Amino acid sequence: MFQPAPKDKSDLPSILLVEDSPTTAVLLSKYLAGTYHLLHAKDGVEAWEMLEGDPEIELVVTDINMPRLTGHQLLVKIRKSDDPRFKNLPVIVMTTTDDNADRNLAFLNGANDFITKPIDEMELLARVNVHHKLAQTIRELEASRRALAEQATTDPLTRLKNRRAFFENGNQHLSMARRYGTDVSLIVADLDFFKRINDSFGHQAGDEALIAIAKVLLQMTRTEDTVARIGGEEFAVLLPDTNRLGAAVLAERIRAAVERDRFSAGGQLLQLTLSIGVASYAVEQVDTVDQLLSIADQRMYLAKKLGRNRICVNNDGKSNFAS
C-alpha cells in the first residue's frame, strides 16, 4: 500500500507551545505532530525571546501559570508590541482551572481562544486549525491590501512613486514645512531628446533609458525623499528639510552622474542627459505643491531652452550650473 512521504518540518506551519510541564509538552507535541512544527518554550520569558527571533511562528499555545513570566504577562507583551507581526498572531490559552475570572482576564489581555486541561486531542486540533486558518486568511488579505496600495502609488515601469503618490507626499511635507518653519525643495528632471531615442532605437530602448534614470535618482537620494515619475520622461524629487542651495547641489550631482555614465538601451551604449529645474518653498512662498511643481517645471523648460544638460534654479537662467 502506498504511504505518502512525511512532510519536512520546514514545510509545516510553526506553533510555539509555552508550557513548563515536560509531560504536557510531550503530550501536545504528539497531538500536533505531522500537521505542525512545534517549538517549545518553558516559560514566558523564553517564549518572548523565541517570538522576537523567529518570524515564522504562526500561532501560540500557552499555559497561564508559569515561572518568570506568566501567560497573562506574555499576552500583554504580544498585544502591546510595536511589531506588526504580532497584530493578528493567534494565541490559545491553557489552564487547569475553570475559574471564569482567569478566563475573562485572558480574553481581556488579547487571547483568541481558551482550552482547559487535561487537553483533549480532538478539541485542541480543532481550535488550532480554526485559528491558524483564520490568521492565514487575515495575513493574505493584508498582503493583498498592501499590494493594491503599492500598485495604486507606483509607476509600473520604473517602480518609482507615481504622480498621485508624489502629490500626497508633497502636500504632507509642505504642510509640515509651513507648520514648523522648515523648508522643502523640489527637483524636476526631464530626459533630453527622449523622442530621438525612441525613434532611433525603439520604445524598448526608451523604456530602458527611463529605468536607468530612475536607478540613478534612487541611488543619489535619501530614504525620506520622494522620487517619482510624473510624466512620460519627466521625474520629480521631493526633498524635505532641504533649502534651495542643498537642492541645487544635489541636482547638479544628478546631472553630472547621468552625463558621465553610459547606459545600455536596445543593445546600444547611450549617453543620456537631463535638463533640471529647482524650486524651494522658502524662496517661492507658494501655497500648494502644484504651484511649486509648476515653478520647477518652468525652470526645467528654461534649462532646455538654454541648451539642455544643465540645471536652472531661478527664472532668468543666470544662476544655473552649466556642463
Question: 16 and 145: one domain?
Answer: yes
Give me the mean pLDDT over the 148-158 stretch: 85
Question: 190 and 274: one domain?
Answer: yes
Residue at 248 is within a domain: yes
Note the pTM of the prediction, 2 decimals.
Answer: 0.62
Catalytic residue flag (residue 233): yes
Task: Answer whether 189's CB lies under 8 Å from 197's CB.
Answer: no
Residue at 3 is within a domain: no
Please give the Cα distance from 131 to 246 (Å, whole number).
Answer: 53
Instruction: Name beta bridge partners: 191.
Output: 274
Residue at 14 is within a domain: yes
Question: 110 and 211: one domain?
Answer: no
Residue at 222 is within a domain: yes
Tens of pLDDT, residue by residue over 256-273, are: 999 998 888 777 788 999
Question: 239 and 299: one domain?
Answer: yes
Check 19, 58, 233, 234 and give the catalytic one: 233
Tens of pLDDT, residue by residue over 59-94, are: 999 998 888 899 899 999 999 998 888 888 999 998
Structural element, H or E, at residue 136: helix 121-153
Strands 311-312 and 274-280: parallel
Question: 118 and 204: one domain?
Answer: no
Q: What is the DSSP letter of 51?
A: H
Task: Answer whether 105's CB lies under 8 Å from 74's CB.
Answer: no
Instruction: Name beta bridge partners: 113.
Output: 92
Residue at 59 is within a domain: yes
Residue at 320 is within a domain: no
Question: 270 and 303: one domain?
Answer: yes
Indicate the pLDDT class of residue 278, thresholds 50, 70 and 90. very high
Question: 123 and 168: one domain?
Answer: no
Residue at 147 is within a domain: yes
